[in-house]
Amino acid sequence: MTYIETICKNAKAASAKTATLGTKVKNDALLAMAEAFEARKDEILAANRIDLDKAKGTDMSSAMLKRLELTEKKIALMADGVRQIAALRDPVGETIEGYVRPNGMEIRKVRVPIGVIGIIYESRPNVTADAAALCLKAGNAVILRGGKESINSNKAIAKIIAEAAETAGVPKGTVQIVETTDRAAAAELMRMKKYVDCLIPRGGKGLIKAVIENSTIPVIEHGDGNCHTYIDSAADLDMACEIAFNGKVQNPGVCNATETLIVHKDIAKDFLPKICARYAEAGVTMHGDEAARAVYPDMIPATEEDWATEYLELEIAIKVADSLEDAIAHIGEYGSGHTEAIVTDSVSAAKRFTSEVDAAAVFVNVSTRFTDGYEFGKGAEMGISTQKLHARGPMGLTEITTYKYVITGNGQLRG
């Protein structure tokens, strides 16, 4: 039996027990994990420094380096996130719906764990904590396979998690990490359909594409975030400027950052100089279409590629739209189905935008940066699903469960 098969087999065995854990045991384990993060922060930071030192000798982007780096504050936030998950309602065993048939059969649709969830991810070691905590609270076993750039950080965090959880009564094998960075191991994990019920990739386009094309296990897709903010002709321009700036600059290296700004032609002359000046001051590189550059010449001419690019940097594409219809059509052609926003005081424009734009999250007068499990009150997230089956948008506890039907009768026979 191979290394990967052993891990998967152990996870499958543990999942049967993990699925029946009481809420108190799971919460005690989560609180123990949070305390262990804080008590053993020096251990985590030392492992992270090894990863950072290796990464600095590569061509890793500044955004990826920022994702990789852990600090005392980030570890404290990790611990706080786990405590918030512990405080959330346990979804396992919840009756989603129930009814009685004319023959007296009682039918209940009950929420249950998925079983074994595999997570393949890049760069961000905090994903190790979030994914393990969410899976445990939802009664699932989890197999974590992070990227080579964060292997030491991930191993340190996963070890702390597993030890704390097992001390609290969680079965051994519920939380496991793949300790090799060999790509063959990841490829083998993708074929472990016998043991693994669901696979979730988190990372760049290349990783997600590889998982979707090679996995024999059902995949929940965390696609890229080519997010748009559209400034309508009826927008409050001061509010629009704040939203557009926050969406791009607050944290440019994440999937819910605004990558394209669309401005209605009727307010372009008033709005573009204001927002572009702020972007320039913040060091944002701007790619504009002809109409945008006519108003603010200090832009790089936008190409077809720019409209489809998730920059993940202080860089943005800017388009002037002839109408709301034009903006919606542009989003429909280039959007990734992640997050789209409109800034407007028009109820009819907001209604049309939210009904016609096809994305996991559609905002009215809100920064795109809010598409996040924490901000949605889910405590944390497994990722942002950009697909339409099973889960869509921020994936919290309920999105990593499934359901079964429980039928109770008193001797009913089918004629």
Distance, CA of 154 to CA of 30 (rounded, Å): 17
User: What are the residue ranges of CATH 3.40.309.10 in the chain?
Assistant: 227-370
- Per-residue pLDDT, 252: 94
Other C-beta atoms within 10 Å of 60: how many? 16
| Element containing residue 31 per DSSP (H, E) | helix 23-39
Q: Which residue has the tokens 């590629």?
A: 305
- pLDDT the model gives residue 286: 98
- Region of 269 (left: φ > 0; alpha: ψ -120 to 50; beta: rest) is alpha
Which pLDDT score, from 0 to 100, does residue 393 have? 92
CB distance 115 to 15 below 8 Å: yes
Identify which of 108, 166, 176, 139 has the alpha carbon closest to the alpha carbon of residue 22.
Answer: 139
Instruction: Provide CB contacts within 8 A for 211, sequence distance 6+.
Output: 120, 190, 199, 201, 219
CA-CA distance, 227 to 340, in Å (whole number)? Answer: 6
In the chain, CATH 3.40.605.10 sits at 3-220+395-408
pLDDT value for 329: 98
Q: Which of 157, 155, 148, 143 is nearest to 195 (CA)?
A: 143
- So what CATH class is 227-370? alpha beta
Pairing of strands 198-202, 285-288: unpaired
Is 190 in contact with 119 (CB distance < 8 Å)? no
The answer to whether the beta carbons of residues 15 and 8 sit under 8 Å apart is no
Helical H segments across 191-323, by residue range: 205-214, 237-249, 268-281, 290-295, 304-307
pLDDT at residue 83, rounded to an integer: 95
**C-alpha dihedral, 359 to 364 to 369 to 373, nearest 10°:** -70
* CA dist list (Å): 335 to 96, 310, 321, 327: 33, 10, 15, 11
* Residue tagged 């000798």 (tokens): 57
pLDDT in tens, the chain (415 residues): 999 999 999 999 999 999 999 999 999 999 999 999 999 999 999 999 999 999 988 888 877 788 899 999 999 999 999 999 999 999 999 999 999 999 999 999 999 999 999 999 987 899 999 999 999 999 999 999 999 999 999 999 999 999 999 999 999 999 999 999 999 999 999 999 999 999 999 877 788 889 999 999 999 987 789 999 999 999 999 999 999 999 999 999 889 999 999 999 999 999 999 999 999 999 999 999 999 999 999 999 999 999 999 999 999 999 999 999 999 999 999 999 999 999 999 999 999 999 999 999 999 999 999 999 889 988 778 888 888 888 899 889 999 999 999 999 999 999 8
What lies within 8 Å, CB to CB, of 413 at 6+ separation is: none
Within 10 angstroms of residue 269's Cβ, the number of other Cβ atoms is 13
In CATH terms, the superfamily for domain 3-220+395-408 is Aldehyde Dehydrogenase; Chain A, domain 1 (3.40.605.10)
